[in-house]
């Protein structure tokens, strides 16, 4: 079986859980005999291709003289987006992008009809233009490739998936990793919502990463429940035989938050809980690893609470630095307000770190040996952190049982479910 798969990022060039999930899934699919052609907007040449054949969208020629492609482009509404659709950059970088956008006149019609498009593969001010161009490239690849199934990951690639389906007539699977409601709450971007809705409406199957997300897809996007299937994410086992060993250089216990510093991730609740823990035990350090639009606000809040000497902001971490951070951590906390799944707790548990997660996360559906609290209940969150730091038997129980539990959440199992979805479409 051959799959044409569309994504926006692929290791080692990733900015969050999306790229990590795509990598794990493709490795799992290979074990089930599935060949994957994975399309990214921009390839750097150092990506692992052990499980995929990577296609660089920036290298693909689109024959714009072909009426099929020109007609398809004419159906696309070009949109300039002024809102923050760039969740993975810090406030300074975002402001720079906004300034550049204001000072730049984009001539869409003159740029788009070139035969090759150069993609940044990032989340810049011309993101919507790149999404539209990517759809054209998707149609071109579909017209010139052999495959059985189309699989598109998240809203950025849905238009490409729909275009590929219209060109080839092959079944389309779209993968919903996070909805616009997860990212923006009720202040959602209508253009992004419409891309998501249309992609799922046109798809033959919709995969969601949790039942939480499945319910949102059905209730808020009005998608037929019969074609929406939950496949929970998993975690890759460590490539090294030994876990990363990192010296703490401090005698205090370390409690870690790792993720985008945005409303969705609940960083303010982590800080309020930290204050309560420090009132009971001043020999604890708290680390917030990540960046995002709320970073400056969080720094100011830490200063106002007078806990700056016990609180550290590392900025964005990836790769070995993430592993090193987990190796130094005594407790990991994910206080997300809205989390479709959440791979980071699995990574922490894999590193023998006990975990506190919000009940409002998709990963709470598959984990039993973790501390679960409501994201807004900072007293309960503080109690959970304090208990794991001070009661050795409690800590050991969650470490031992948690490690055993996470070792059973493998991408090989998740990809088996995805393969079954593929096969059901091919034999229907």
Does the structure show a pLDDT above 50 at 81?
no
Extended strands (E) in 139-294:
149-153, 172-176, 205-208, 228-230, 253-258, 284-289
Structure tokens at 299: 């720094």
Fold of the domain built from segment(s) 253-407: Rossmann fold (3.40.50)
Mean pLDDT for all residues in the chain: 87
How is 14-48 classified by DSSP, letter by letter?
A: -SSHHHHHHHHHHHHHHHTT-EEEEEES---S-S-
Q: Give whole-number Cα distances, 322 to 44, 122, 200, 392, in Å.
A: 22, 21, 33, 25
Read off the pLDDT of each residue in 355-367 and give the average, rounded to a whole number. 95
With cut-offs at 50, 70 and 90, classify the pLDDT of residue 71. low
Query: Which one, of 10, 21, 15, lies nearest residue 418 by Cα?
Result: 21
Tens digits of residue pLDDT in 109-144: 444 455 778 887 777 667 888 898 899 999 999 999
Domain 2-234+411-426 shares a fold with domain 253-407: yes
Question: Nearest 5°: CA angle at 376, between 400 and 386?
Answer: 40
Residue for token digits 């800080």? 271
Hey, where are the domains in the chain?
A: 2-234+411-426, 253-407
Kindly report the CATH class assigned to 2-234+411-426. Answer: alpha beta
Question: Nearest 5°: CA angle at 189, between 185 and 191?
Answer: 145
Tens digits of residue pLDDT in 314-356: 998 887 888 899 999 999 999 999 899 999 999 999 999 999 9
């Amino acid at each position: 079986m051959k799959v044409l798969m569309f994504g926006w990022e692929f290791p080692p060039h990733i900015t969050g859980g999306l790229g990590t999930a795509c990598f794990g899934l493709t490795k799992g699919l290979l074990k089930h005999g599935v060949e994957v052609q994975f399309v990214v907007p921009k390839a750097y040449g150092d990506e692992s291709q052990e499980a995929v054949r990577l296609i660089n969208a920036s290298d693909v020629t689109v024959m714009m003289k072909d009426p099929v492609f020109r007609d398809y482009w004419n159906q696309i509404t070009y949109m300039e987006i002024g809102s923050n659709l760039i969740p993975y950059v810090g406030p300074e970088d975002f402001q720079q992008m906004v300034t550049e956008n204001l000072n730049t006149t984009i001539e869409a019609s003159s740029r788009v009809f070139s035969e090759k498009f150069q993609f940044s593969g990032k989340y810049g001010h011309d993101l919507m233009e790149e999404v539209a161009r990517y759809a054209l490239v998707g149609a071109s690849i579909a017209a010139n490739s052999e495959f059985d199934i189309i699989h598109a990951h998240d809203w950025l690639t849905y238009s490409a998936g729909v275009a590929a389906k219209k060109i080839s007539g092959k079944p389309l699977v779209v993968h919903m990793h996070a909805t616009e409601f997860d990212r923006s709450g009720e202040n959602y971007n209508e253009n992004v919502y419409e891309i998501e809705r249309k992609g799922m409406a046109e798809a033959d199957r919709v995969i969601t990463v949790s039942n939480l997300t499945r319910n949102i897809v059905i209730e808020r996007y009005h998608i037929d429940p019969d074609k929406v299937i939950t496949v929970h994410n998993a975690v890759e086992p460590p490539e090294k035989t030994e876990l990363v060993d990192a010296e703490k250089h401090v005698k205090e216990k370390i409690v870690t938050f790792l993720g985008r510093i945005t409303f969705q991730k609940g960083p303010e609740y982590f800080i309020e809980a930290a204050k309560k823990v420090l009132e009971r035990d001043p020999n604890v350090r708290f680390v917030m690893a990540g960046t995002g639009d709320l970073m400056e606000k969080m720094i100011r809040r830490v200063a106002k609470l007078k806990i700056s000497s016990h609180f550290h902001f590392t900025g964005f971490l990836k790769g070995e630095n993430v592993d090193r951070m987990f190796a130094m951590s005594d407790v990991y906390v994910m206080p997300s307000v809205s989390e479709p799944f959440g791979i980071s707790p699995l990574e922490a548990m894999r590193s023998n770190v006990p975990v506190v997660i919000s009940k409002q996360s998709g990963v709470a559906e598959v984990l039993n040996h973790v501390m679960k609290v409501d994201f807004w209940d900072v007293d309960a969150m503080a109690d959970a952190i304090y208990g794991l730091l001070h009661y050795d038997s409690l800590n050991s129980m969650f470490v031992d049982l948690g490690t055993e539990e996470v070792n059973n959440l493998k991408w090989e199992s998740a990809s088996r479910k995805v393969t079954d979805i593929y096969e059901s479409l091919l034999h229907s």
